[in-house]
Amino acid sequence: MKGLTALLTGLLIWTAGLLTFADRVTRLTPADTPAAADGIVALTGGSDLRLAAATNLLQSGLGQRLLVSGVNLQARRSDLWGVTGAAKPVFDCCVDLGYAAADTIGNAREAAEWTHAMGFSSLILVTADYHMPRAMLELNAVLPGVRITAYPVATAELDVRNWRATSQGARRMIVEYDKFLAALASEWFIGLGGPDKTATGA
């Protein structure tokens, strides 16, 4: 009986957390125009909208350079140029492509290396709305002292305001919430003196 009670209590806590997380994501878009920063980081993913949004910020003068993190190894600069919609001179001079990242932790490491190499102290982070909480968590962990402003992009495949209406929407929100919890637990563990993710390759 005690085991069942504990299970039900845990399920209620998890559900309350999921609803809170989904509400947080819902409030992210539409994003306000961010304050200018030194650099802009866009994380690749299922939609090209975030790359176009990041390029628009760059061309609006809100950052000096743009890093596109997590680019497919098979993609060429010309492929990315076509996706971003950037003016060719802007793309050629001010857009850097990162090929090393395969996940959000990798994105954070790639962004940190780029930020330090450029000597930047402020960033605008562009990624999907549902992915933004976890992305911000990971980047803040590896870039202490750097001001990071979120610029979330709405995802066509997931209507975050009606995520429970379809099985696909519910599944995507639940999976992202679980990944966020795992990232949160990892940062908490590291804060207690556990292994450094940059050393372990987590």
Number of domains into which the chain is organized? 2
Give the tens place of pLDDT for each residue, 130-146.
999 999 999 999 999 99
Q: Is 10 within the bounds of a domain?
A: no
* 113 and 65 within one domain: yes
Q: Is residue 91 in a domain? A: yes
Q: ∠ CA 115-202-153 to the nearest 5 degrees? A: 55
Q: Which of 29, 12, 49 is nearest to 161 (CA)?
A: 29
**DSSP string for 51-104:** HHHHHHHHHTTS-SEEEEES--TT--HHHHHHHHT--HHHHHHHEEEE---SSH
pLDDT tens sequence across 86-139: 888 999 999 999 999 999 999 999 999 999 999 999 999 999 999 999 999 999
Q: Give the per-residue pLDDT at 202.
A: 37
141 and 169 inside one domain: no
Instruction: Provide the 3-class DSSP secondary structure of residue 39.
Output: strand
Tens of pLDDT, residues 175-200: 999 999 999 898 776 655 555 554 43
* Residue-number span of the structural domain to which 182 is assigned: 162-193
Residue-wise pLDDT tens digits, 5-29: 778 888 899 999 899 988 888 888 7
- Tokens 């987590």, located at residue: 202
| Co-location of 86 and 168 in the same domain | no
Whether residue 172 is contained in a domain is answered as yes
Task: Give the global pTM.
Answer: 0.86
CATH number at residue 122: 3.40.50.620
Both tokens assigned to 100: 């090393």
What's the rounded Cα separation, in Å, for the pair 53 and 132? Answer: 14
